[in-house]
Amino acid sequence: MKVPIKIPAVGESITEATVAQWVKKDGDTVKRDEIILVLETDKASVEVVAESAGRLSVKTKEGQTVPIGSVVGEIDSDGAGAAAAPASPKPTSAPPPITAKPTAPPPPTRPAPSAQPIATFSEATQPNYKIQPVTATPNVSATPNVTATPPLSPAVRRVVEEQRIDVTGMTGTGKDGRLTKGDLMGGAASNAAAAPAAKAPMAAPAKPTSLPQPKVHAGAQGTTREPMSKLRQTIARRLVEAQHTAAILTTFNEVDMTNVMALRAKYKDKFKDKYGINLGFMGFFVKAAIEALKNFPRVNAFIEGTDVLFNHFYNIGIAVGTEKGLIVPVVKNADMLSIAEVEQSIKHYAEKARDGKISLDDLAGGTFTISNGGVYGSLMSTPILNPPQSAILGLHKIEERPVAIQGKVEVRPMMYVALSYEHRIIDGAESVSFLVKIKEGIEDPTRLLIEV
C-alpha cells in the first residue's frame, strides 16, 4: 500500500511551505515516526515524520515551494523488503566506464602535438628576430631624396647651417618654392616628432614593467546566486515594514555591571549545581525590563488602527541568531517566572531554534523583545522593532571604561543599552525614563527582588 506524504497545515496564516531538506533519500527504507522531511515556512522550520514503514519515493525536489496539502512523496509499505534487491546491480555498473577510460589512445598521441608547438615557436621567433633591423633600414633609406632639396635663401641657409637642420624632402612655401623660417620651424617640429616614433620599437620592452597590466586574481572573480529562504524573506519583509510603517526612534544609556557581575560570580557555582544551567545576565535584564514595563505600560502596548492596545501580560521575546536567520522565541508570562526559570526557558528555546525544531507557538504572542548583540562583540547598535511590538531593548558588549564615581575616576565594567521605540505612542521622556528604570534594576539587583 502506498501512503502519500502531504504538506501538513502548520498555521492559520501559512498557505505554502518550502521543501528544505529530505532527511531520507529517494529509495531509502524508513521506519514509522522517523523524520523524513524538513519543511521551511515563513515563520519556522517543521519536521515531517513517516506515517508508516516502507520504501520512500520522493516526488518534489529540495528547494521547491508547494501549497499546504500537496503530495511531495509517498511511502510504499509493501516495498520495504525489496529494498536490498535492486541495490546490488548498481555497484556492478560503475566499473566498466572506469576501466574504459585508461585504454583510450590519447596518451600515446600527446608527444606529437607537444613537439609541434615547440618547433613552430622556434621558427617563428627566428624571422622576427631578423626582421627588426631589416624593417628599420628601408624606412630610413627610403626617406632621403637628394634631388628633392628645395632652394634656400642666404638667411635661411645660415639658419640651416647653424642649427644643422636636415631640409631634405621639405617643401618651401616661399617664392619659387623657397624655404622660409616658418618652414624650418615646422620641419624641426616634425623631425622631433619623428625621432621618438623611430625609437618606439626600442621602447616596447618597457611595457611589462607598467603597473596596471598584471591581473593577479582575474580568475578568482565570480558570483553565486542563492535563493532566499522563506524565513529570510519574511525577516526582510518585516524589517522593511517596520521601517516604513513605524516612527522609530532610539535612545541610549549605559549601565554599570559591577554589582550584577559580583552577584553572578558569588552564586554561579551554586546556581549551576541546583538548576543545571549557567547563571547569565539575560535573566536579570528580563526581570528589569518587566519592572520597567509595569511602570511604563505604553512600551508594552500595540497600535491597532487608530487605537492603542494595552497588554496586561508580559511575554518577552529573546532574539536568537541561527544559521537560517534571526528568530525570536517568546518566554510566556515571564513576570511569573524566577530568574532561574527565565534562564531555563531561554536555554530551551535557544536549543530548539538552533536545532531547527522551533514551533510556531514558540514564536507567537510577544509583547516586548530583547536582543543581545554583545555576544557577537557589538559595542553599540540601533535595533529595529519587531512588529507589531512598540519597543525593543538592545544589549551590547561589556567593556571596562573609566567613569566618575563620587568625584573619583574608577574603571568599571560598562554596557551601552539602547531602546528603539514607536514614537507615535511613546514619548521621548517616557522612553528615557524606561531605560533609566532598567539601569537602576541592573546596577542594584536587590531592587528586582523586592520589585521597587
Give pLDDT, residue 128: 45
Q: What percent of the chain has pLDDT over 90?
A: 37
Give pLDDT, residue 8: 84
Query: Cα–Cα distance between 269 and 276 in angstroms, integer?
Result: 10
Say whether the peptide bond before residue 89 is cis (omega within 30 degrees of 0): no
**Segment 203-219, tens digit of pLDDT:** 555 555 555 656 565 55
Residue found under cell 508508516: 52
pLDDT band at 49 (very low <50, low <70, confident <90, very high): confident
Other beta carbons less than 10 A from residue 206's beta carbon? 8
Q: What is residue 113's DSSP assignment?
A: H
Instruction: Give backbone dihedrals phi and psi of 162, rounded to 5 degrees, phi first.
Output: -70, -40
pLDDT band at 84 (very low <50, low <70, confident <90, very high): very low
Among this protein's residues, is 307 annotated catalytic?
no
Query: Cα–Cα distance between 141 and 349 in angstroms, integer?
Result: 91
Judge whether residue 334 has pLDDT over 90: yes
Query: Cα–Cα distance between 10 and 17 in angstroms, integer?
Result: 9
**Segment 360-407, tens digit of pLDDT:** 788 889 999 999 999 889 999 999 998 889 999 999 999 999 999 999
Query: Cα–Cα distance between 289 and 335 in angstroms, integer?
Result: 10
Instruction: Give backbone dihedrals phi and psi of 301, rounded to 5 degrees, phi first.
Output: -105, 165
Judge whether residue 191 has pLDDT over 70: no
Choose from 45-49, 387-391, 448-452 the range with maximum mean pLDDT. Answer: 387-391
Provide the β-strand partners of residue 394: 371, 418
Give pLDDT, residue 187: 60
Amino acid occupying residue 421: Y
Query: Cα–Cα distance between 447 and 452 in angstroms, integer?
Result: 5
From 293, 286, 285, 284, select the one nearest 312 (Cα to Cα): 293
Give pLDDT, residue 190: 54
Among this protein's residues, is 423 annotated catalytic?
yes
Q: What percent of the chain has pLDDT over 70?
A: 72
pLDDT band at 303 (very low <50, low <70, confident <90, very high): very high
**pLDDT, mean of residues 22-37:** 89
Pairing of strands 325-327, 320-322: antiparallel
19-23, 192-196, 346-350, 416-420, range with the lowest pLDDT: 192-196
Give pLDDT, residue 89: 47
Average pLDDT value for the chain = 78
**pLDDT, mean of residues 321-330:** 81
138-147, 193-202, 280-289, range with the lowest pLDDT: 138-147
Which has more pLDDT, 355 or 300?
300
Give pLDDT, residue 261: 95
Is domain 155-190 given the CATH code 3.60.70 in the classification?
A: no
Q: Are 85 and 108 in contact (CB under 8 A)?
A: no
Residue spans of the domains in the chain: they are 2-88, 155-190, 231-450
Give pLDDT, residue 119: 40
Judge whether residue 102 has pLDDT over 80: no
Provide the β-strand partners of residue 22: 37
For domain 2-88, give its CATH number from 3.30.830.10, 3.40.640.10, 2.40.50.100, 3.50.50.60.
2.40.50.100
Catalytic residue, candidates 28, 76, 348, 423: 423
17-26, 322-331, 406-415, range with the lowest pLDDT: 322-331
Judge whether residue 24 has pLDDT over 60: yes
**111 Cβ contact list (under 8 Å, min separation 6):** none
Strands (E), 278-333: 301-304, 307-310, 316-318, 320-322, 325-327, 330-331
Residue 240, helix vs strand vs coil: helix
pLDDT band at 442 (very low <50, low <70, confident <90, very high): very high
Judge whether residue 423 has pLDDT over 70: yes
236-240, 266-270, 430-434, range with the lowest pLDDT: 236-240
Fold of 231-450: Chloramphenicol Acetyltransferase (3.30.559)
Judge whether residue 42 has pLDDT over 50: yes
**Segment 108-155, tens digit of pLDDT:** 444 444 444 444 434 444 444 444 444 444 444 444 444 456 777 777
The overall pTM is greater than 0.75: no
